[in-house]
Amino acid sequence: MVEISRILTIEVNGMQSGDGLVIILIILIAGFWIFLYIRNRMKGTMESESEGLTLPEETPVSSDEVTRLLEENGYKVISGKQRIPIHITINDGEPLHSRLFIDYFVEQDGVYFTVKVAKERKPMETTGSSIRDHLLAFHLLYPQTSGVLYVDPQQHRIQCIRFQIDNEDEV
């Protein structure tokens, strides 16, 4: 019995005393490094998803036909018209200026949308290219929104338009 315990204390599979501690330290360091790597990758993913302009804070909006239509359909109007200035330069030449206007921001069940109101002088066809040309910019500016509501007050109609951008072209 004394001989067995002496053998166990001298060597276990060729390891010397202190080797177990070194192995545990290596495992802890590797685990910590893997944790930091995964955390940074997830943080980078979350930051890239939240790029874009920040949603405006809730402000009172005067009631009109469009806001009543939105509220009747369960949307809470968060903010009124937002002006987004755009600075454009072509070939390092004279700077050009433009702007985009978003009519409203709304929220429904914790989900946010930008709102564009239909205009008679600038009608939008219900084709993919027309919707893209008229509304995609608003979603790209505010990627934290779930889409764009296109409100036609004359027809009392709200269309919820959602964009999904794929990395691959489909044929």
What is the distance between the alpha carbons of residues 144 and 115, in angstroms, rounded to a whole number?
Answer: 14
* Pick from 157, 166, 81: nearest CA to 115: 81
pLDDT tens digit sequence for 66-123: 999 999 999 999 888 888 898 999 888 888 999 989 999 999 998 999 999 988 887 7
How far is CA 148 from each of CA 23, 24, 32, 63, 74, rounded to the nearest angstrom? Answer: 56, 54, 42, 20, 15
What is the distance between the alpha carbons of residues 150 and 152, in angstroms, rounded to a whole number?
Answer: 7
> For residue 115, what pLDDT is reported?
93
Q: What is the pTM (predicted TM-score) of this model?
A: 0.62
pLDDT tens digit sequence for 33-78: 888 888 777 765 544 444 666 776 777 778 889 999 999 999 999 8
| Joined tokens for residue 131 | 């919707």
Q: Which residues pair with 113 in a beta bridge?
A: 106
Per-residue buried b or exposed e for 58-93, using 16+ beta carbons within 10 Å of the residue's own CB: eeebeeeebbebbeeeebebbbbebeeeeeeeeeee
* Pick from 143, 141, 139: nearest CA to 161: 139
| Joined tokens for residue 81 | 């018209």
> For residue 47, what pLDDT is reported?
46
